[in-house]
Structure 1
Amino acid sequence: MLKEISLGLGAALLVFGLTVGYDLTPFVFLLAFGGALYFLVYSKGMVKTGIGNSSTLPKRQEISFDEIGGQDSAIKELKEALDFIRNHHEIKQLGIRPLKGIIMTGPPGTGKTLMARAAASYTDSVFVSASGSDFVEMYAGVGAQRVRKIFQTARDAAVKQKKKNAIIFIDEIEVLATKRGQNSSHMEYDQTLNALLVEMDGLKLDDNVRLLIMAATNRVDMMDPALLRPGRFDRQVKVDLPDKKGRLEILKLHSRNKPLAQSVNLLQIARETFGFSGAHLESLANEAAILAMREGLKEIEHRHFHEAIDKVIMGEKLDRRPNPEELKRVAIHETGHALISELARPGSVSALTVTSRGGALGYMRQNPEDDTYLYTKDYLENQIAVMLAGALAEEVVYGSRSTGASNDYEKALHTAQTIIKAGMSRIGVVSLEDLPGDLKHTLVSEILQEQEQRVMAYMIAHKIFLTSTMDVLLEKEKISGEEFRSLLESQTAA
């Protein structure tokens, strides 16, 4: 109403000024300047913020914990914390302080946001979400105002929907909750965090609307200790990468709406995707379906999933193709990797190819039998041998090495340092940081040279196999682990 009256008075003054013959140029200039300033201020949220505005909250799709796979332990721990909200009457009788915050930590793509949405359904709560970057701007006081705004919005939305519980979810909270004192240029970050701390301190069990703050981050090391202490974020739920059983569950979930051929073995796919997050596995199932569509098929076959693994790891195939001589060297290089991999652990080669993907001209993919979290010295030495095998295969066949092995050398050096750091070198337990540079260099060189001698002897004995497999690989561009092992058995028998 006030806006309409102001506009009317302004228009009347303009008409009056024109009537009496005043020069209105300065007035028009000031009006234009004021309008531009008004637009900038309100669009940036200095006076009114749209964050968490209940009238603009989109209708969210309900999701339950049953639709989240591979996170059984995290879901169990989260449900235990959420039961404090569902059973608030018993909590009040026992004098238990309510949980104010739950923070989920873990790598990207593991399902932290999905678990927050499922928590809202589990507790029948209003769900209001925001990102940490939504709270911080260059204008002083905006972040603190937005923090207060989202808390008020959650309460208003719960009252409007006649619910007693509300969940505020803040994704990437490390942007908002960085350790205070690190941003000396201005205090906006600290003011925003202070506002969040004050709001969380004000949460009580007997409030008309019971609020629970949930947050997600993959950089918990950056966060201010005052926010992580008991009484604010009372629970830290670790949402880690899924194991083989979890990956199988996730693949089944993402394959429910896809027609799979009888040849598809999801257990084998789960075994080959060690280190994949839930987001990777969703992309894997989607890429497999896209590959089947490209071929005009009605069902997704196992080979599509196998190809999709390469695409998710390395990227799409590139049009770039090396010249024939370079292609032969790439084929020898990858065959060398595969040969030592089979020597170290039979059945470990999943596929090798000379197709360019991402930054690689070719690659050999290993197939881990089981998820491994502890490594022995023998295992690490075998991995170094596999890394060096490509360059040594080139040297045996062509008499020289190429720059294609530079990335292999970096990985081999890092693995050798891991052996020293873990106390498995000849000098025993040491501090890698305090080790003299020349001694460290000597130890790393000894580890690498020992494996070089071992691999070189094996490559010389299998030189004919390297060249014969190169011809097959150049013809087919990609061979599976089974085909490679068949070639190796034939060569051994001969």
Structure 2
Amino acid sequence: MVKEILYGAVPVLILFLVFLKVNVGPFLVFAAVLAGIYFLMSRQSGVSMGGRSKRSKHVVPKTNIQFADIGGQERAKRELKEALDFLIKKEKISHYGIRPIKGVLLTGPPGTGKTLMAKAAANYTNSAFVAASGSQFVEMYVGVGAQRVRDLFRDVKQMAEKNGQDSGIIFIDEIEVIGGKRDGQQQREYDQTLNQLLTEMDGIGASDTPRILLIAATNRKDMLDPALLRPGRFDRHIVVDLPDKKAREQILRIHTAGKPLADDVGLEKIAQETFGFSGAQMESVVNEAAIYAMRDHSETIEIRHFALAVDKVMMGEQTDREATVEEKRRVAIHELGHAIISEQVRPGSVSQVTLTPRGQALGYVRQNPMEDRYLYTKEALEQQIMVCLGGAVAEEIYYGGRSTGSKNDFEQALTMAQEIVQSGMSRLGIVHLSYIAKSQVHDEVNRILEELLEQTRRVLRQFDPVFVNSLQILLEKEVLGGDLFRSMLREQQPTGELIGS
């Protein structure tokens, strides 16, 4: 009300002074200076004190996400539910003398469902729920982060009391931004924010009403300060890992519910072909497949649409790069080398060979892992190295030399050869890399790669007819399906002859 009066009175006063022929210049300068000071003080006060607008953005709209809506992660959901039960079953935990858990840390790769689990937790307990990202606490003004931590805890308590709830959940995403290790090199502002968070967590008591549970998520647990990870603060660390095949199929069923799927769509097969995909990537596969179906004006989403969607999520969108005929032929020879070796060491593993440029790749072989694998023997690593080397060896056989297209293949082969050495599976035996000369490691890695290169050459030299016929199909259609490729391998027996010999 006062502001409105001033806004109306000041112009009238200035006009009156002008009418009296009074020099209003000094008054205008003085008023501008006062207005500037008032603006800066208001902005500083609004930032440092947290303001109503700053606090309100922590409140997250109510969602209907339940644990059943999150595919896979059964172990992680079970552990989180147990921690949440401490907010619900107060009498039972009091009977056993259990101290309620103050904090739960969700760790794991991006896109695995950590944020979804935090939202489902609020519905599971009927708790007040506020959320913030670690980046929201970072400002150039001293003390802002610490004040916002206090606001966050105050907001959830006020929200719970207003809604008649006896518990509240605070979710902080990207907590490594404010909870990083204090090594003396960070700014003091970060330390103040972390110290305030530790203080607020220490202030959570078993008899407090409403009872507060802090849930945080991070992709980099190794960056967090030990004081934050100790028992009594984040008591429970839950790994939300990449889904296995069964979980991927469950995620697909959730996201394809209500979508018009064609009869040829097998979710189990799609789940098998998406090893290493996160939950977010699986959702993107379903969405992209639906987009491809709409683009084709198809009434249903067919398996070919899912194949295109998997390629897009894995490799990126198709590019407009037009390669010359000779480049296409060389890329085709390269990819067929990968595919033949892959089928020899892991029968049934090739899903398709394609010359369609995606991302940075001019062509690629999409492999279909027969099973999820997390432990590798020396033989398995050597076989995978041979698959990586197959493209370059095929170029050597039919072109007499290699190209820059093998760079990424060699990087992967080197990494796996080094893994053989570091895991004690090489001729060096069990070694610590800091105790032996780098030249020894280099020589052993080089020996492993040379032996596998020669072995790859011997295998590929036997499949001249497969190269000839597969090359023709690839150049014409740009895509060679895995089933057709395998039938050609079975029908065309190795001859040992070379193209052009």
Whether these two folds match at TM > 0.5 is yes
Q: Is the 8 A contact 2:48 2:141 kept in 1?
A: no
Superposition CA RMSD, Å: 2.2
Q: Is the 8 A contact 2:168 2:211 kept in 1?
A: yes
- 1:107 corresponds in structure 2 to 109
| Range 198-207 or range 274-283, more displaced | 198-207
Q: Is the 8 A contact 1:104 1:239 kept in 2?
A: yes
Unmatched runs of 5 consecutive residues or more in structure 1 = none
Counterpart of 1:26 in structure 2: which amino acid? V
Residue 138 of structure 1, CA deviation: 1.2
- 1:197 corresponds in structure 2 to 198
Residue 37 of structure 1, CA deviation: 1.9
Residue 227 of structure 1, CA deviation: 1.1
- 2:169 corresponds in structure 1 to 167
Counterpart of 1:356 in structure 2: which amino acid? P
Q: Is the 8 A contact 1:349 1:364 kept in 2?
A: yes
Counterpart of 2:141 in structure 1: which amino acid? Y
Q: Is the 8 A contact 1:354 1:473 kept in 2?
A: yes
Residue 490 of structure 1, CA deviation: 1.9
- 2:98 corresponds in structure 1 to 96
Residue 94 of structure 1, CA deviation: 3.6
Superposed counterparts of 1:299-448, under 5 Å: 299-448=300-449
For 2:234, what is the secondary structure of its paired residue?
coil
1:467 aligns with 2:483: no
Residue 306 of structure 1, CA deviation: 1.4
Q: Is the 8 A contact 2:60 2:130 kept in 1?
A: no
Residue 16 of structure 1, CA deviation: 8.2
Residue 26 of structure 1, CA deviation: 2.2
Q: Provide the rounded CA distance (Å) in 2 between the counterparts of 1:145 and 1:13.
A: 42
Match for residue 82 of structure 2 among 80, 83, 93: 80
| Range 378-387 or range 451-460, more displaced | 451-460
Q: Is the 8 A contact 2:350 2:367 kept in 1?
A: yes
For 2:461, what is the secondary structure of its paired residue?
helix
Deviation string 1:86-116 (CA, Å, 9 cap, x unpaired) is 1012323443222111111111100001101
Residue 480 of structure 1, CA deviation: 1.4
1:143 aligns with 2:145: yes
Q: Name the CA shift for 1:14/1:45 in 2 (closer, same or farther; >3 Å).
A: farther
Q: Provide the rounded CA distance (Å) in 2 between the counterparts of 1:489 and 1:177.
A: 58
Q: Is the 8 A contact 1:41 1:47 kept in 2?
A: no
For 1:169, what is the secondary structure of its paired residue?
strand
Aligned residues: 492
Q: Name the CA shift for 1:326/1:137 in 2 (closer, same or farther; >3 Å).
A: same
Q: Is the 8 A contact 2:176 2:221 kept in 1?
A: yes
Counterpart of 1:259 in structure 2: which amino acid? P
Residue 10 of structure 1, CA deviation: 6.8
Counterpart of 2:285 in structure 1: which amino acid? L
Q: Provide the rounded CA distance (Å) in 2 between the counterparts of 1:398 and 1:471.
A: 17
- 1:271 corresponds in structure 2 to 272
Residue 24 of structure 1, CA deviation: 1.1
Counterpart of 1:33 in structure 2: which amino acid? G
Q: Is the 8 A contact 2:245 2:271 kept in 1?
A: yes
Residue 173 of structure 1, CA deviation: 0.6
Q: Structure 2 length as normaliser, TM-score?
A: 0.93
Unmatched runs of 5 consecutive residues or more in structure 2 = 496-501
Q: Is the 8 A contact 1:352 1:479 kept in 2?
A: yes
- 2:53 corresponds in structure 1 to 50
Match for residue 157 of structure 1 among 159, 169, 180: 159
Q: Provide the rounded CA distance (Å) in 2 between the counterparts of 1:170 and 1:139.
A: 21
| Range 1-10 or range 283-292, more displaced | 1-10
For 2:51, what is the secondary structure of its paired residue?
coil
Q: Is the 8 A contact 1:247 1:278 kept in 2?
A: yes
Q: Name the CA shift for 1:289/1:51 in 2 (closer, same or farther; >3 Å).
A: same
Identity %: 52
Residue 466 of structure 1, CA deviation: 1.3
Residue 415 of structure 1, CA deviation: 0.7
Q: Name the CA shift for 1:77/1:293 in 2 (closer, same or farther; >3 Å).
A: same
Counterpart of 2:193 in structure 1: which amino acid? T
Deviation string 1:296-340 (CA, Å, 9 cap, x unpaired) is 011111111111111100001111021000000000000000001
- 1:133 corresponds in structure 2 to 135
Residue 49 of structure 1, CA deviation: 5.9
1:242 aligns with 2:243: yes
Q: Provide the rounded CA distance (Å) in 2 between the counterparts of 1:277 and 1:146.
A: 32
Q: Provide the rounded CA distance (Å) in 2 between the counterparts of 1:21 and 1:241.
A: 74
1:37 aligns with 2:50: no
1:27 aligns with 2:30: yes
Q: Name the CA shift for 1:42/1:263 in 2 (closer, same or farther; >3 Å).
A: farther
Residue 366 of structure 1, CA deviation: 1.3
Residue 182 of structure 1, CA deviation: 4.2
Residue 463 of structure 1, CA deviation: 2.5
Q: Name the CA shift for 1:69/1:343 in 2 (closer, same or farther; >3 Å).
A: same
Residue 468 of structure 1, CA deviation: 2.2
